[in-house]
Structure 1
Amino acid sequence: MIKNDLGKKLLFFDGGMGTLLQAKGLKPGELPETWNVTHGEEIIGIHQAYIEAGSDLVLTNTFGANALKFRDGGYPLQEIIEQAVSHVKEAARRAGRGVYTALDVGPTGKLLKPMGDLEFEAAYEAFKQAMVYGEQAGADLIHIETMSDTYEIKAAVLAAKENTKLPVFVTAIFDERKKLLTGADVPAVVSLLEGLRVDALGVNCGLGPVQVMPVLEELLVCASIPVIVKPNAGLPKQRGNETYYDVSPEEFARTMKDIVEKGAAVVGGCCGTTPEHLGSMIEACRGMSVKPTEKKTFTVVSSYGQAVVLGKGSKIIGERINPTGKKKFKQALKDHDLDYILKEGILQEENGAHILDVNVGLPDIDETAMMVEAVEGLQSVTSLPLQIDTVDVRAMEAALRIYNGKPMVNSVSGKQESMDAVFPLIAKYGGVVIGLTLDEKGIPGTADGRVRVAERIIREAAKYGIEKKDIVIDVLAMTISSEPEGAAAALEAIGRVRQELGVHTVLGVSNISFGLPCRPILNASFYMMAMYAGLSAGIVNPSSESMMEAYDAYHALMGFDENCSRYVEKYAGRKVRGTSAPGGSMAALESGGRASAGLAAGGGADMLGGDMSLQTVIEKGLKEEAYHITETLVRDQAPLDIINTHLIPALDHVGKGFEQGTVFLPQLLMSAEAAKAAFSVLKERIAESGEAAEKKEKVVLATVKGDIHDIGKNIVKVLLENYGFEVIDLGKDVPPEQILEAVRAQDIRLVGLSALMTTTVVSMEETIRLLKMEAPKCRVMVGGAVLNQEYADMIGADFYGKDAMQSVYYAQKSLL
């Protein structure tokens, strides 16, 4: 089995397939996977060349073979996969050496909801069919590769884990900023994949061997499992009518040797690499040993866009999305007012929360459905990780399944029934679980008792393979009005859990003061003491001025705020509050409000909604709010004025943030959706008034012939429409002649072409050549993972869009 070799000896993947098939006659637009049926000998020959070069793991020719791509006739998916697996095995027989047959699974080419139109479970089913067929045909492992979205990765991994017994490898496409297309950084990807218990992880495609080094270095810092590296042979270039890659086999081998020396355990090649590249690499690395994989102890929770690591200092878990003691929140849940929940999340993020607690449990609502809706909604407007907070195991599993990242889970107790129910879910989906120090006998009154319950939780979790780093202990703060020793016991327990058990701690801080006056005074003081005792994360109200002052002061005093920079930035010039002014600062303290933000505790969402402009709600991606605010504004303002003073500035602000890396793709698209909701109101008003709508410039978009990946095209389409362009979307796999016909029919001045696959770049060049010859006044902009500026220039494009916003700016410059 592959698991016997993985991490113990250096393993070699094979290299590229697409460019080799092109050399053998694969036509532009022809699906490479169909060659498993129609050109079996050519496929076997390529596999054999890699095996003879020394590859240990050989990928089946099934990169795009999924149930979405092969559902409309043609060759059956099962036949394609069965033939693909048999070709690898036949190639190994002819080469006279055994190899591992890796079922190659690439992306669907679609964005999953809420960013795109593909349902999570639909993606899951598409992957599931291919994987089941692959295992039945005799594949030895599943290699999920070239992934740019953690949500799609999760769908694919779950499909593999739940429907096969095969080992699972995963590699993703990172850019030069070490991020995926949808925003995930290296720690976020690693935490997700390790939580899902894949066997190896890493990076492929997108970058050459030199450029991939920084990604590798961070992977090695984060990962506790073997790391895979499969770079391109550079990026494609053009020489006459020939496409080539600029990294030679010798250069490739030299750099890959360095990559192995740094710690990669599995190496191979991606686009542009050949049996010569792999042969040179294997010869250069022959005899090298694999560095032992070190177990990392980082406690990480993550979202699609960022990871939060517990450890240095303390983190803030926002407590406001919880109906306990909040009448307005309870009513919002009963009224199914999702915008209230989303605004609470946005407010807490702006006030400094690192993680958002999500509890929607009420007796008279469907908690499972509401939890799923709340998690999906919050992940569309904030990149903060979430804490799934529920005692309903069905709601917990439903949320864990659709959560995009590695969440915190609140909670499990020391009761055997609780551990039996929760630990299997954490083992399956991944997560950092909060262990409550209570058992069948209740909450122990002493620190000793709570530490013993924590030890029991840790021991039981280990039976499920859940490590200490994925357990956080809540020693439970008891109100001192009824238990005078409650604070002392909790503080002692925090310190002992950290020091004696070696796990992180969390606490619902405000529990300490129930039943007493001026609660913020006690809460803030206890919070400071708890952090000093070793509290890793406090569940607090980030809109509470006194709590945030305690937080900021602690981090400045203990040296966690380097040079007190955060403290100075936040408090410089602010006057010290008086203690005797009636109804002023003390009133704010009692309410727990944050005076500087003008927000009172419990009223945050209402104040936020009242104060937010249309521009702000669009920036935050609040669709319903954008619609309703626009309905109000349009009563007194002209639609064009609203567009110019609210919509366009909002889109510009988010677009600049996206380019600077401070806003991620999901936020960009949700903002576009909010703008679209506002536009719908303005269109109605223009139609009712009988005014002539402003003439829009038209842009044709298409994914070129042979390519079914329309992620990039769809993103550009949404943004162009929001900037006032009329988009004629020709779809995917579009022949050059059809694009030319659309250009001629409507006198189009700008065409946008997308390609993700190396094998379809030829179609892009053919389309550009045809347009230049037959419609010379039409400009062509191009984009896609396999392109760069130099290659775009070589194939005759007028503009290369590195990201979607650059394409919008070019359209504005060239058409408006």
Structure 2
Amino acid sequence: MKFIERLGREWLFFDGGMGSILQERGLAAGELPETWNITHADEIQSIHRAYLDAGSDIINTNTFGANALKFPDNLREIVEAAVAHAKEARRQAGREDAYIALDIGPTGRLLQPLGDLPFEQAVALFGEVVRIGAAAGADLVLIETMSDSYELKAAVLAAKENCDLPVLATVIFDENGKLLTGGTVDAVVALLEGLGVDALGVNCGLGPKQMVPIVKRLTEVSSLPVIVSPNAGLPRSENGKTVYDIRADEFASLMAEIADLGVQVLGGCCGTTPAHIRKTVALCKGKPFVPMAKKHRTVVSSFSQAVEIGGKPVIIGERINPTGKSKFKAALREGNIEYILSEGLTQEDSGAHILDVNVGLPEIDEAAMMEQVVTRLQSVLALPLQIDTSNTEAMERGMRLYNGKPMINSVSGKRESMEAVFPLVKKYGGVVVGLTLDENGIPDTAEGRVQIAKKIYDTAAQYGIGKEDIVIDGLAMTISSDSGSALVTLETLRRVRDELGGHTILGVSNISFGLPQREIINANFFTMALQNGLSCAIINPNADAMMRSYRAFLALTGQDAQCAGYIAAYGSQPAAAPQAAADSAMPLGEAIERGLRERAAEAAKAALQTVPPLELVNTELIPALDRVGKGFEAGTVFLPQLLMSAEAAKAAFDVVKDAMRGAPQETRGRIILATVKGDIHDIGKNIVKVLLENYGYQVLDLGKDVAPEVIVDTAIRENVPLVGLSALMTTTVVSMEQTIRLLREKKPDARVVVGGAVLTQEYADSIGADCYARDAMATVHYADSVFG
């Protein structure tokens, strides 16, 4: 039976750890596990066979780190051998009912604009592995241990575009239910469901106990089968070996509890063995199987936030749009992206939940501008975006590079429009705005508009797009030319809600076009629309009258518990303060916190007219970074924003350095950073480097896959008092321990700080590190304590 016919209909079991078992069988510190596909074929086959004998239905190829970055010369040989070993093990075990998953892990690099890896290059890297593995005979693709939703999207697109196999995806959450780059369970589920994967879930990083809250949320929001593959507890070092604290019996017992939460696929990750899987299968296979229920949630998401449509009305900020805005048009013509970013940030501050993005001008390349604006916006703010264009090329470029599940504005009831837009929504995911107009124009009656809404629903279903991913625009037409138009729009909203069970949206301010004092009409019509079931309102969130109507409506309808939102907005001031214009001067500290590089540089130049350079650093730059760092530690600022703030601070530092040219340069201290031998994943190291340099430290970056001897020799030669070591994989933390041991012997006065997804405080203590840094800011704090 085909895999896809069984998935979600019966219990399925993945295998367990590969790298941790290879270590037990002699994989040397720093040795790449994938090379054993060539050098130790019998060992790889025997591990696969042991998992099949234990009851695994799916075995993962030994290709977790296989990509052209790590294997530029023999990638095909590595991947083909891996698939061949899995197939041979299946034959030897007599398990023709089992399936082979092409295992794809992260590249270890951050994608642009946060890192240096272009999105399309990431897609190409993953695509090459997919093509080789699919041709070699894999039955499905498993994308696993992803900590960045943008890289996750690149991998899923690569799989979808390069094979027709089922695609499964699992990510690595921390104990707070967040990805490294800030993604929540809800945001990840929205992204993956939009991209059309066949199952999703969580693996690695945590043991089964720590995963329970995450799994509960996954089963609450996912409509797809859920996969859970924990580590065998938390790692520690014993006699130079990495061991895990949960044995097979306890692991199986905990997995049985997880099975009862409503998941469909179980397996193991680091530290688990065939014994762990055998006992898990024995305890869980006989449990009642519950297929995942369709949730019918309407969700749009960014890299870190998910906004559900259908409960509390959603505000969509309309200011990123050139219509009637001369300054915005000038910004588009001049490529002044920071003006556009400022418009977005201002709307976020004013209470918008989603931002509409329209960059269409006849004289510019709209597709290129959409790509640039979407990419930059999602690097400095966390709100989801609505991609607003009638240009299908611009629409696709924006959707492809968008880090999340966007709203799409729009499709109409015209067949040409639906044939152009729905394939894009099906491929990339999105919640699309359906305009109630067709080849015959805009109906004058609510009945006519409701019929077009039905046509849009029915046609979308033919593309596999559910009604939950359509939001109907009832079309607000100006009452200055038709005094009854508002009533038709309100009836349309009410009937879509009551008769069709759908969600609605309006560009509210269209109702008052051509009238004086438009905000009077707009605000009152907005309240009426909300009363008639309006789900989403495209408005100017900087307009006080509109937000007063919105907040009052929530308070009056019981959607603002204890009137908390209303009181927060109006309780401490007699009248709302006017919003700053997007092109007004911005203080240096705010520009850094916002991640606006050009604004930070301009503010630094202006401040240096009256403030000495070093005073500016100590009173403005460092405090701003501290505020961002505290927000990151509190979970209110996410990694992309942290990195963009660091980039803005760097731009300001560069201005300060120019002002101090010729004067003695001071540094707070010198620090070595390195990713240890055998590990090419340098995301964590590079993030730490950016922050340390912005705090005034000189970083000697030795790169990735660095031998212990190189690190120690550099520390001795340069007399560096602090060494930072990073590792992502369990198979390489042994190299970290060797490096620390050699440092203690050769340079005992050096302090060592360690970090990485596989590490814990207990593990860091057991290998002799002086400090375990669970995130980049922790490394900065430790450096401050070392250097005083």
Tell me if both proteins adopt one fold, taking TM over 0.5 as the criterion: yes
Alignment partner of 1:377: what SS? helix
1:573 CA displacement:
5.0
SS in 2 for 1:759: coil
Which position in structure 2 is the counterpart of 1:673?
647
Q: 1:404 to 1:573 in 2, by over 3 A?
A: closer
Match of 2:436 in 1: 437
1:55 aligns with 2:53: no
Aligned twin of 1:520: 519
The answer on 1:624 being equivalent to 2:625 is: no
Query: 3-state DSSP class of the match of 2:621?
Result: helix
2:200 matches 1:201: yes
Distance in 1, matches of 2:667 and 2:525, equals 62
Partner residue in 2 for 1:596: 576
Output the CA distance in 2 between the equivalents of 1:251 and 1:313: 43
1:213-232 correspondence to structure 2 within 5 Å: 213-232=212-231
Which residue is 1:357 aligned to? 356
2:133 counterpart residue number:
134
Contact 1:339–1:625 (8 Å) recurs in 2: yes
Please state whether the residue corresponding to 1:605 is helix, strand or coil: coil
Structure 1 residue matching 2:499: 3-state secondary structure: helix
Give the fraction of aligned pairs with identical amino acids, expressed as a percent.
Answer: 61
Inter-partner Cα distance in structure 1 for 2:151 and 2:311: 32
Distance 1:238 1:680 in 2: 43
1:172–1:202 CA contact under 8 A, matched in 2: yes
**Aligned partners of 1:335 and 1:23: how far apart in 2?**
60
Distance in 2 (CA, whole Å) between partners of 1:656 and 1:555 is 32
The answer to whether residue 9 in structure 2 is matched with residue 32 in structure 1 is no
1:284 Cα deviation after fit: 1.1
- The 10-residue stretch of structure 1 (633-642 or 150-159) with the greater mean CA deviation from structure 2: 633-642
Q: Could you tell me how far apart the structure 2 residues matched to 1:739 and 1:604 are?
A: 51
SS of residue paired to 2:709 = helix
CA distance in 2, matches of 1:274, 1:573: 59
Q: Give 3-state SS (helix, strand or coil) of 1:694's partner.
A: coil
Q: Partners of 1:55 and 1:651 in 2: how far apart?
A: 49
CA shift, 1:636, in A, is 2.3
Q: Report what 1:803 is aligned to.
A: 775
Match of 2:655, SS state, is helix
Counterpart-to-counterpart distance in 1, 2:404 and 2:609: 42
Corresponding residue number in structure 2 for 1:85: 83
Tell me, in whole angstroms, the C-alpha distance in 2 between the residues paired with 1:298 and 1:452: 23
The 5-angstrom pairing of residues 538-687 of structure 1 reads: 538-572=537-571, 574-575=573-574, 596-599=576-579, 604-606=581-583, 609-610=584-585, 612-687=586-661
Question: Over residues 109-143 of structure 1, what are the superposed CA-to-partner deviations in whole Å (9 max), with x where a residue is unaligned?
Answer: 00101111100011111000000000000000000
Q: Is the 1:11–1:265 contact (alpha carbons within 8 Å) kept by the matching residues of 2?
A: yes
For residues 617 and 432 of structure 2, the distance between their equivalents in structure 1, rounded to whole angstroms, comes to 46
1:296 partner SS? coil
TM-superposed CA distance for 1:632, in Å, is 1.7
Q: Match for 1:597: what amino acid? A: A
1:749 matches 2:718: no
Paired positions, count? 786
Q: Within 5 Å, which residues of 2 pair with 1:716-731? A: 716-731=688-703
SS in 1 for 2:542: coil
* Counterpart Cα distance in 1 of 2:20 and 2:302: 36
Distance 1:574 1:721 in 2: 40
Residue 765 of structure 1 is matched in structure 2 by: 737
- Matched position secondary structure for 1:229: strand
Deviation (angstroms), 1:572:
2.1
Q: Structure 1 residue 604: deviation in Å?
A: 2.5
| Cα deviation code 1:574-615 (max 9, x no counterpart) | 44xxxxxxxxxxxxxxxxxxx73323xxx8312xx32x2100
Query: 1:255-266 to 2 correspondence within 5 Å?
Result: 255-266=254-265
Q: Which residue of 2 aligns with 1:252?
A: 251
Corresponding letter in the other structure for 2:79? I
Which runs of 5 or more structure 1 residues have no equivalent in the other structure? 576-594
> How far apart are 1:293 and its partner, in Å?
1.2
Conserved? CA contact 1:9–1:289, under 8 Å: no
User: In the alignment, is the contact (CA less than 8 A) between 1:7 and 1:290 conserved in 2?
Assistant: no
Q: For residue 70 of structure 1, give the secondary structure of its aligned residue in structure 2.
A: coil
Per mean C-alpha deviation after superposition, the further-off stretch among 239-248 and 768-777 is: 239-248
- Alpha-carbon separation, structure 1, partners of 2:523 and 2:315: 13
8 Å Cα contact 1:301/1:408 also seen in 2 = yes
Matching of residue 427 in structure 1 with residue 426 in structure 2: yes
CA-to-partner distance for each residue in 1:217-266, whole Å, 9 max, x for gaps? 00001100100000000121122233210001000000111111211111
The residue matched to 2:63 in structure 1 has which SS?
coil
SS of corresponding position for 1:104? strand
**What is the distance in 2 between the residues matched to 1:506 and 1:286?**
46
Question: Which letter does structure 2 place at the counterpart of 1:664?
Answer: F
Render the CA deviation track for 1:267-324: whole Å, top value 9, x for unaligned: 0000000011111111111322321210011110000010001122211000000011
Instruction: Give per-residue Cα distances to partners, 1:19-74, cap 9 Å, x unaligned.
Output: 11111111111110011011100000100000000100000000000122111x4x
Q: Is contact 2:111–2:117 with CA below 8 Å preserved after alignment? A: yes
Match of 2:401 in 1: 402
Following TM superposition, by how much is the alpha carbon of 1:214 offset from its aligned partner in structure 2, in angstroms?
A: 0.5
Other structure's SS at 1:517 match: coil
Amino acid at match of 2:652: A
SS in 1 for 2:732: helix
Provide the residue aligned with 1:298 in structure 2.
297
Cα distance in 1 between the residues matched to 2:245 and 2:667: 46
Correspondence 1:239 to 2:238: yes
Q: In the alignment, what sits opposite 1:334?
A: 333
Secondary structure of 1:318's match? strand
User: Is contact 2:240-2:737 (8 Å) kept?
Assistant: no
Tell me the distance in 2 between the aligned counterparts of 1:267 and 1:597: 54
Cα RMSD for the two superposed structures? 0.9
**DSSP 3-state at the match of 1:618:** helix
| Paired position in structure 2 for 1:587 | none
Q: Does 1:390 align with 2:362?
A: no
Distance 2:100 2:444 in 1: 58
Q: What corresponds to 1:578 in structure 2?
A: none
Aligned to 1:116: 115
Q: Report the 3-state secondary structure (helix = DSSP H, G, I; strand = E; otherwise coil) of the residue aligned with 1:658.
A: helix
CA distance in 1, matches of 2:546, 2:303: 28
- Aligned partner of residue 300 in structure 1, secondary structure: strand
Q: Which residue of 1 aligns with 2:677?
A: 705
Equivalent residue number for residue 774 of structure 1: 746
Summarize deviations over 1:481-540 as a string: whole Å, max 9, x none: 001111101011001111111111110000000111111110000001101111111000
Q: Is the 8 A contact 1:10 1:289 kept in 2?
A: no
Q: Shift of residue 644 of structure 1?
A: 1.1
Alignment partners' CA distance in 2, 1:301 and 1:779: 46
Q: Hey, what's the Cα distance between the residues in 1 that align with 2:489 and 2:784?
A: 60
Q: Secondary structure at the match of 2:110?
A: coil
State the match for 2:417 in structure 1. Answer: 418
Amino acid at match of 1:253: A
Distance 2:213 2:689 in 1: 32
Tell me the CA shift for residue 327 of structure 1.
Answer: 1.1
How far apart are 1:568 and its partner, in Å?
A: 1.7
**Distance in 1 (alpha carbons) for counterparts of 2:291 and 2:125:** 36
Q: Which amino acid aligns with 1:567?
A: Y
Letter in 2 for 1:386: L
In 2: Cα distance, 1:570 partner to 1:127 partner? 47
Shift of 1:149: 0.6
Give TM-score, length-normalised by structure 1: 0.96
Residues 403-444 of structure 1, C-alpha deviation per residue, up to 9 Å, x if partnerless? 000000000000000000000000000000000000011111
Shift of 1:732: 0.5
How far, CA to CA, are the matches of 1:314 and 1:97 in structure 2?
A: 53
State how far apart, in whole Å, the 1-side matches of 2:571 and 2:124 are: 55
Instruction: Please tell me whether residue 455 in structure 1 is matched to residue 454 in structure 2.
Output: yes
Does structure 1 retain, via aligned residues, the 8 Å contact 2:570–2:576? Answer: no
Amino acid at match of 1:333: L
Q: What amino acid sits opposite 1:363 in the alignment? A: P
